[in-house]
Amino acid sequence: MTFYDMPDSWLERARLLENVMRASCTGGERDEPMYSALRSEFMQDDQLKALLPEMVRTNRTLASLWGELGEIAGYKGRRKHLNDAFTRIIDHLEGANRAPLDIVAGDTLATFDSDGVHAVWTKALARRTTDPEGAITMARTLLETVCKRVLDERDESYDDRADLPDLYKAVANLLNLAPDQHTEAPIKAILGSAMNLVNGLGTLRNRLSDSHGRGGKIPVRPSQRHASLAVNMAGALAAFVVETHQEKAAA
């Protein structure tokens, strides 16, 4: 296989990289050009770079990798070592860590705008485990993007510098999603919770990672669970807004 045969998908590239490394340490061909090309592709992507096996990040050539893999006795042991090392990135690329909500929201947002909104959603999902702060930022950006697109499609004017709570309030009033537009207690409670969710999400990142912590305290850094919470909340609400907008537009 030559460089020109490199797969287009990241998943197939990851599998090919593992296979190239496996061949080199189990008596097969040592394909240095392909290893170098694949490694370079992954190293240029900050998200995937963090998921690469450490031995790939620290070894530029298959020859230098032999220093680590050669210490493992037998072909079977080396294969297992490589399989374990690649599990994290393969699982990520196969979507093994996706929750049902990821799929439902993803389908809804892709239908709404595959080139814009869905791209933001995809980035938010990808960053949950490797870049929690970035994922929280993307979650907020997702809702902002959805709100602006809804307002655009309905020919409603807005300040492009408006923050998320103001944008959502405008959309909620437009789509009859504001709590004060309803009299039924359960509906008012749900829509009120959605409004509170937006307000919380709008300030979550700053509260968690404010570099100007008060009282000399070290700022709290968001963890993976914080990022998952933010992304899941944003995805659910974004999908709800999109579905409401589309339903009313079709009526």
Using one digit for the tens of pLDDT, what is the confidence trace for 4-34? 577 877 888 999 999 999 999 999 999 999 9
pLDDT at 212: 40
Res 35: pLDDT: 95
| CB-CB contact of 56 with 82 (8 Å) | no
pLDDT in tens, 100-120: 445 545 555 666 754 556 667
Q: Which pLDDT value is given to residue 108?
A: 56
Going from N- to C-terminal start, the domains of the chain cover: 3-94, 100-250
Q: Count helices and strands (H / E) in the chain.
A: 12, 0
* pLDDT of 3 above 70: no
Q: How many of the other CB atoms lie within 10 Å of CB of 95? A: 12
The per-residue pLDDT for 121 is 73
Exposure class string for 49-72: b at 16+ Cβ within 10 A, else e: ebbbbebbeebeebeebeebbeee
Does the structure show a pLDDT above 50 at 61?
A: yes
The amino acid at residue 96 is: A
Residue 198 in tokens: 């937006």
- Residues in the chain, how many? 251
The pLDDT, as a whole number, for residue 149 is 87
pLDDT score, position 209: 46
Per-residue pLDDT reduced to its tens digit, 160-207: 889 999 999 999 999 999 999 999 999 999 999 999 989 888 776 556
The C-alpha atoms of residue 171 and residue 82 are separated, in whole angstroms, by 50
pLDDT in tens, 218-250: 556 777 888 888 888 888 898 889 889 989 988
Mean pLDDT, residues 96-100 taken together = 53
Confidence (pLDDT) at 115: 53
